[in-house]
Amino acid sequence: MQDVIRLLPDAIANQIAAGEVVQRPASVVKELLENSIDAQAKNIQVIIRDAGRTLIQIIDDGGGMSETDARMSFERHATSKIRHADDLFRIRTMGFRGEALASIAAVAQIEMRTRRPSDEIGILLRMEGSELKSQESVACLPGTNILVKNLFFNVPARRNFLKTNSVEMRHILDEFQRVALAHPEISFSLYHNDTEVYNLYSGKLSRRIVDMFGKNYREQLIQCQEETPYVTVKGFVGKPDFARKTRGEQFFFVNDRYVKHNYLHHAVLAAYEATISEGSHPFYVLMLDIDPSHIDINIHPTKTEIKFDDERSVYALLMAAIRKAISINHLSHSIDFEA
Residues that bind ligand ADP (CB under 6 A): 31, 35-36, 38-39, 60, 62-65, 73, 78-81, 95-102, 144
Q: Are the CB atoms for 192 and 200 separated by under 8 Å? A: no
d(CA 339, CA 337): 7
95 binds Mg ion (CB under 5 A): yes
- Select the residue whose beta carbon is closest to Mg ion and give its number: 95
Q: Are the CB atoms for 91 and 80 separated by under 8 Å? A: no
Least distance from ligand ADP to the Cβ atom of residue 231, Å: 25
Q: Show Cβ contacts of residue 140 under 8 Å, excluding neighbours closer than 6 positions.
A: 113, 114, 115, 122, 124
Label residues 152-187 b or e (16+ Cβ within 10 Å = b): bbbbeebeeebeeeeebbebbbebbbbbbbbbbebb
Least distance from Mg ion to the Cβ atom of residue 34, Å: 5
Least distance from Mg ion to the Cβ atom of residue 74, Å: 12
Q: Which of residues 59 and 205 has its CB atom nearest to Mg ion in the complex?
A: 59
Q: Which residue in 44, 59, 65, 100 binds Mg ion (CB under 5 A)?
A: 100
Q: Which of residues 25 and 62 has its CB atom nearest to ligand ADP in the complex?
A: 62
Residue 62's binding partner among ligand ADP, Mg ion, none (Cβ under 5 to 8 angstroms by kind) is: ligand ADP
Give the interface segment with Mg ion, choosing from 33-41, 200-208, 218-226, 245-253 (CB under 5 A): 33-41
Q: Which of residues 34 and 211 has its CB atom nearest to ligand ADP in the complex?
A: 34
Q: Which of residues 35 and 187 has its CB atom nearest to Mg ion in the complex?
A: 35
58 binds Mg ion (CB under 5 A): no
Specify the pairing of strand 43-49 against strand 187-192. Answer: parallel
Q: Are the CB atoms for 306 and 259 separated by under 8 Å? A: yes
Q: Which of 316, 291, 296, 297 is nearest to 230 (CA)?
A: 291
Least distance from ligand ADP to the Cβ atom of residue 155, Å: 19
Residue 128's binding partner among Mg ion, ligand ADP, none (Cβ under 5 to 8 angstroms by kind) is: none
Cβ–Cβ contacts within 10 Å for residue 134, how many?
10
Least distance from ligand ADP to the Cβ atom of residue 82, Å: 8
Q: Which of residues 95 and 184 has its CB atom nearest to ligand ADP in the complex?
A: 95
Residue 158's binding partner among Mg ion, ligand ADP, none (Cβ under 5 to 8 angstroms by kind) is: none
Q: Which of residues 102 and 221 has its CB atom nearest to ligand ADP in the complex?
A: 102
Q: Which of residues 32 and 180 has its CB atom nearest to Mg ion in the complex?
A: 32
Least distance from Mg ion to the Cβ atom of residue 36, Å: 9
d(CA 156, CA 203): 42
Least distance from Mg ion to the Cβ atom of residue 141, Å: 21
Residue 36's binding partner among Mg ion, ligand ADP, none (Cβ under 5 to 8 angstroms by kind) is: ligand ADP
Least distance from ligand ADP to the Cβ atom of residue 274, Å: 44
Q: Which of 136, 111, 130 is nearest to 47 (CA)?
A: 111
Helices marked H in the chain — which ranges?
A: 10-21, 25-38, 67-72, 100-106, 156-161, 165-182, 205-213, 262-272, 311-331
Residue 63's binding partner among ligand ADP, Mg ion, none (Cβ under 5 to 8 angstroms by kind) is: ligand ADP
How big is the site for Mg ion, counted in residues (CB under 5 A)? 3
35 binds Mg ion (CB under 5 A): yes
Q: Are the CB atoms for 235 and 285 separated by under 8 Å? A: yes
The DSSP line for 158-197 is HHHH---HHHHHHHHHHHHHHHHHH-TTSEEEEEETTEEE
* Terminal alpha carbon distance of the chain: 72
Q: Which of 100, 106, 129, 145 is nearest to 16 (CA)?
A: 106
Residues that bind Mg ion (CB under 5 A): 35, 95, 100
